[in-house]
Amino acid sequence: NAGVTQTPKFQVLKTGQSMTLQCAQDMNHNSMYWYRQDPGMGLRLIYYSASEGTTDKGEVPNGYNVSRLNKREFSLRLESAAPSQTSVYFCASGSRGTDTQYFGPGTRLTVL
Amino acid sequence: QKEVEQNSGPLSVPEGAIASLNCTYSDRGSQSFFWYRQYSGKSPELIMFIYSNGDKEDGRFTAQLNKASQYVSLLIRDSQPSDSATYLCAVTHHFGNEKLTFGTGTRLTIIP
């Protein structure tokens, strides 16, 4: 039982490049989330998915797209990376009955 | 005004003492309240959640909720050096809403 897994752990991009961050959970949760964490800003919600087939914008969605591939997997795509997207990205999955969320190990992304 | 506010610290507490972490929130309709612990370079780890006014105890941790005053606190008894971490407070605005709003965290240091 791995919980929430994320790949890659680290990534360096040049401005304008694209990439997809992958997330998978094996806890049979309906809800999944993408956050970014920046110093002094705390965790901010980028996108979330309340169930398979649905996605909604969070607090900071600009520059990102998401895909809820199936119940287990939720990916985050940067189409044209910018230095402002340098951050640590966390995926989480949630239990609707209790509102609790469990986080993956994170991806540290640097955009040059 | 930030929705969830925490003193950023650092908060220094001697080993064996009680560490008290506080969090205030602005939305009077907030329903669910969470405390996460985050070690440096790691992902947030859920340690407590509370839904009702009063105290909830789990081992050395006690969460306290006062909805009238709009604050939630976390007490750590018999503090250990391994408790040194950043503690994040999070709230949901409606039960079953699932979207968490995080504070920026309080950095706690336990002094041996």
> What tens digit of pLDDT does each residue of A84-99 get?
999 999 999 998 777 7
What is residue B8's predicted lDDT score, i.e. its pLDDT?
Answer: 82
Q: Please list, in sequence order, all residues whose beta carbon lies within 8 angstroms of the beta carbon of residue B48, skipping any fewer than 6 positions away.
A: B34, B35, B56, B58, B61, B63, B74
Average pLDDT over residues B14-37: 94
**CB contact (8 A) between residue B103 and residue A42:** yes
Q: Would you say residue B23 has pLDDT above 70?
A: yes
Chain A contact set for B88 (CB, 8 A): 42-43
- Count of pairs with CB atoms under 8 A, one residue in A, one in B: 54
Average pLDDT, chain A: 94
Q: Would you say residue B1 has pLDDT above 60?
A: no
**CB contact (8 A) between residue B96 and residue A43:** no
Lowest-pLDDT choice from A80-89, B20-29, B69-78, B89-98: B89-98
Can you tell me the distance from the alpha carbon of B72 to that of B23, in angstroms, rounded to the nearest whole number? 5
How would you label B33-70 residue by residue, b for 16+ Cβ within 10 Å and e otherwise?
Answer: bbbbbbeeeebbebbbbbeeeeeeeeeebbbbbebeee
Q: Are strands B106-111 and B11-14 parallel, antiparallel or unpaired?
A: parallel
**CB contact (8 A) between residue A96 and residue B98:** yes
Chain A: residues touching B (Cβ < 8 Å): 31, 40-45, 48, 50, 58, 90, 94, 96, 98-106
**CB contact (8 A) between residue A99 and residue B105:** no
What is residue B95's predicted lDDT score, i.e. its pLDDT?
Answer: 61
With CA atoms as reference, the chain A residue closest to B34 would be: A100
What is residue B97's predicted lDDT score, i.e. its pLDDT?
Answer: 59
CB A104 within 8 A of CB A8: no
Bigger pLDDT: B76 or B99? Answer: B76
**CB contact (8 A) between residue A45 and residue B92:** no
Query: Rounded to a whole number, what is the distance in Å from the CA of A14 to chain B's nearest CA?
Result: 23
B9 — pLDDT class (breaks 50, 70, 90): confident
Query: Rounded to a whole number, what is the distance in Å from the CA of A48 to chain B's nearest CA?
Result: 8
**CB contact (8 A) between residue B102 and residue A42:** yes
State the amino acid at position B53 in one-letter form: N
Average pLDDT over residues A12-27: 97
